[in-house]
Amino acid sequence: MDRLWVLIPIGFVLGFVATFAEPAVRILNHEVEKVSGGYIPQKVMLYTLSIGVALSIALSMLRMIVGIPLWYFIIPGYLLALVLMRFSTKSFTAIAFDSGGVATGPMTVTFIVAMTVGIASVLEGRDPLLDGFGMIALVALSPILSVLTLGLLYGRKEKENERTFESDS
């Protein structure tokens, strides 16, 4: 039980790598860059999604180790997404919700679900069905939050550029 914390960074790394290698994520990033005229670069989207999924899998590992119910994360997470939608642009909102579906592709599901179900099956007091499969819900939520946050950062950058442009005029 002392060394279970190691699962958290392992989950982070595996989540990052699985999302980074996900073909559907690559296609989404290419399309976003193309449609945005290069305003949202592929690499920025790739790292945003990969870090978001990595954090959600690390959080899933923590949830599994400690025994926190899934809904403690899902309900506040979607409420936060609704709040972030209010402050993000329409284009980032659309991209965010599509990203949630794309990030739960074959790489993530194949490797990460197998890992979490396996870990849940050997942890005392954990149900592989509930604890192992609940991770997908967090993985679907994390790209939404990540891209909406990216939208806030881009919005802030645009406002700063507008102020700079107005002061130069």
- Would you put residue 140 in left (φ > 0), alpha (ψ -120 to 50) or beta? alpha
- How many structural domains does the chain have? 1
pLDDT in tens, 112-130: 888 889 998 988 888 888 8
Greater confidence, 128 or 93?
93
Query: Does pLDDT of 150 surpass 70?
Result: yes
Greater confidence, 108 or 94?
94
Give the list of residues 6+ apart from residue 69 with CB closer than 8 angstroms, or none. none
Q: Give the model's confidence band at 2: pLDDT under 50 very low, under 70 low, under 90 confident, else very high.
A: confident
Cα 17 to chain centroid, rounded: 13
Structure tokens at 123: 């942890």
Q: Rounded to 5 degrees, what are φ and ψ at 103?
A: -70, -20
The whole-angstrom separation of Cα 120 and Cα 5 is 14
Lowest mean pLDDT among 11-20, 24-33, 111-120: 111-120
pLDDT in tens, 39-65: 999 999 999 999 999 999 999 999 999
Q: Give the model's confidence band at 168: pLDDT under 50 very low, under 70 low, under 90 confident, else very high.
A: low
Residue type, 129: L
Structural domain for 160, as ranges = 4-168
The whole-angstrom separation of Cα 74 and Cα 32 is 27
The Cα-based distances of 40 to 19, 34, 36, 67, 98 in angstroms read: 18, 9, 6, 38, 15
Residue among 82, 80, 62, 46 nearest 134 (CA): 62
Query: Does pLDDT of 1 surpass 70?
Result: no
Whether the CB-CB separation of 95 and 147 falls below 8 Å is answered with yes
Greater confidence, 1 or 77?
77
Tell me how crowded residue 9 is: count the other CB atoms within 10 A of its CB.
Answer: 12
What pLDDT was estimated at residue 169? 61
Biggest CA pair distance of the chain = 66
Query: Does pLDDT of 159 surpass 80?
Result: no
